[in-house]
């Protein structure tokens, strides 16, 4: 049985065309998603309902000929399982009671149990059972730094100021927080792999604005510990790292974390990537999500440019960040047609 195109590409193979999937492909730009979403009381109940979450995961694959499904869940389910009071407020995003450097983190550690997220494992099982063999199923978690920014700020934040100040001021205390998230993340990802995830992705969405020293401390070290522990526990599947916005630090990230592939944001050029990464190291990305929303006659040439620019190495076609809710569905169809026609 041959492997899904996504897995072959992440294993380092050059193929006739790049596999394609889209960050946030299950989401509000789809009318069927909006309809399903209304049936749940809130977003967390939705994520923890295996029947609904499996349906949301599969919706984009029913409509589009994508090469992979990504588990429908959220990076903030781990803080929720620490007992943090998490809410998703429409129009604002996630809100939680912030962690302070004065807090004893044992209360979160004592609250944590991967059992609280066992429904996510069931979602993975359901999706895997329903998915054709040539489509890969991607499991994921947030990286400790990005999850920590929400735990410390209590919401999404532009410059992650409180988290950055804490990480400089009290390295040991902040490391305790990162380690807490790390331990939970390893158990959670292991559960996803045991349930049928064939690729893992670590979302580190907020690594812009970090100095190289802080990047080493809060991104590279925890990420490499997670990947090492997963490997020690027998996980062999590809692991995509996505340190979004880290710019010139991708070379160090790739050489030190042990990731199998790296997700690029829209700012990174193929020339730059060739200078920083080993030849044939797999990359994913990096269409600008604002062009994806804009559409127009500049969309296809830009897709073709990206495919051509990265054609010297295994490349997974994706955006540089998630699809936004107002993006027309027709742009998704145009994009997939262009990628598939590129062989
Ligand atoms: O389709 C997929 O990509 C799979 C599902 C998925 C969601 N969130 C569903 C979701 C994935 C992989 C995530 C990851 C995630 N969640 C990240 C990292 C990726 C990135 O985009 O940077 C982050 C930072 C979060 C935290 C989060 N969750 C925020 C900031 C928000 C609110 C922002 C918004 O768009 O409203 C969420 C909510 C969320 N997660 C939604 C979805 C579909 C929208 C909520 C809804 O439908 O009511």
Mean local confidence (pLDDT), 208-224: 97
Dihedral angle at the C-alpha atoms of 298, 301, 307, 311, nearest 10 degrees? -140
Identify the pLDDT of residue 220.
Answer: 98
Cis upstream peptide for 226 (omega within 30°):
no
Matching residue, tokens 């550690």: 109
**178: closest CA among 204, 197, 208?**
204
**CA Rg value for the chain:** 19
| Tens digits of residue pLDDT in 92-117 | 999 999 998 888 999 999 999 999 99
Q: Is 74 in the pocket of ligand 1 (CB under 6 A)?
A: yes
Q: What is the mean pLDDT of the chain?
A: 97
Q: Is 24 a catalytic residue?
A: yes
What residues make up the domain containing 9? 5-340
| Tens digits of residue pLDDT in 115-157 | 999 999 999 999 999 999 999 999 999 999 999 999 999 999 9
Mean local confidence (pLDDT), 269-293: 97
Beta bridge partners of 140: 201
- pLDDT of 257 over the 80 cut: yes
Q: Is 74 a catalytic residue?
A: yes
Mean local confidence (pLDDT), 248-274: 97
Identify the pLDDT of residue 342.
Answer: 77
CA 314 → CA 11, 44, 67, 269, 282, distances in Å? 9, 36, 15, 15, 5
Confidence of residue 1 (pLDDT cuts 50, 70, 90): low
Distance in Å, CA 138 to ligand 1 centroid: 15
Distance in Å, CA 75 to ligand 1 centroid: 8
Q: Is 98 in the pocket of ligand 1 (CB under 6 A)?
A: no
Report how many domains make up the chain: 1
For ligand 1, atom 31, the nearest C-alpha belongs to 93
Any idea what the CATH number is for the domain that residue 239 is in?
3.20.20.210
Confidence of residue 343 (pLDDT cuts 50, 70, 90): low
Q: Is 134 a catalytic residue?
A: no
Confidence of residue 310 (pLDDT cuts 50, 70, 90): very high
Q: Is 33 a catalytic residue?
A: no
């Amino acid at each position: 049985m041959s492997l899904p195109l996504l897995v072959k590409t992440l294993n380092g193979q050059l193929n006739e065309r790049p596999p394609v999937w889209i960050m946030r492909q299950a989401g509000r730009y789809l009318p069927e998603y909006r309809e399903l979403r209304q049936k749940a009381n809130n977003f967390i109940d939705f994520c923890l309902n295996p029947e609904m979450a499996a349906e949301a995961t599969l919706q984009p694959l029913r409509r589009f000929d994508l090469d992979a499904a990504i588990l429908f869940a959220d990076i903030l389910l781990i803080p929720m399982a620490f007992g943090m009071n998490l809410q998703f407020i429409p129009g604002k995003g996630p809100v939680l009671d912030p962690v302070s450097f004065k807090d004893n983190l044992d209360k979160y550690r004592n609250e944590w149990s991967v059992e609280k997220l066992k429904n996510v494992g069931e979602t993975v099982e359901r999706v895997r059972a329903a998915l054709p063999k040539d489509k890969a199923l991607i499991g994921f978690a947030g990286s400790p730094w990005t999850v920590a920014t929400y735990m410390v700020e209590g919401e999404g934040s532009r410059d992650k100021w409180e988290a950055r100040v804490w990480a400089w001021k009290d390295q040991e205390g902040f490391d305790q927080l990162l380690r807490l998230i790390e331990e939970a993340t390893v158990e959670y990802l292991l559960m996803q792999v045991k349930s049928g995830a064939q690729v893992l992705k670590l979302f580190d969405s907020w690594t812009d604005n970090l100095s190289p020293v802080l990047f080493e401390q809060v991104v590279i070290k925890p990420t490499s510990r997670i990947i090492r522990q997963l490997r020690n526990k027998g996980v062999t599947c590809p692991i995509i790292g996505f340190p979004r916005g880290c710019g010139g630090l991708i070379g160090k990230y790739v050489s030190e974390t042990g990731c199998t592939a790296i997700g690029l944001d829209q700012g990174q050029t193929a020339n730059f990537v060739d200078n920083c990464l080993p030849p044939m190291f797999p990359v994913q990305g990096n269409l600008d999500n604002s062009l994806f929303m804009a559409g127009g006659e500049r969309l296809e040439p830009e897709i073709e440019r990206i495919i051509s620019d990265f054609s010297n190495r295994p490349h997974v076609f994706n955006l540089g960040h998630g699809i936004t809710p107002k993006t027309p569905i027709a742009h998704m169809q145009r994009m997939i047609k262009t990628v598939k026609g590129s062989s």
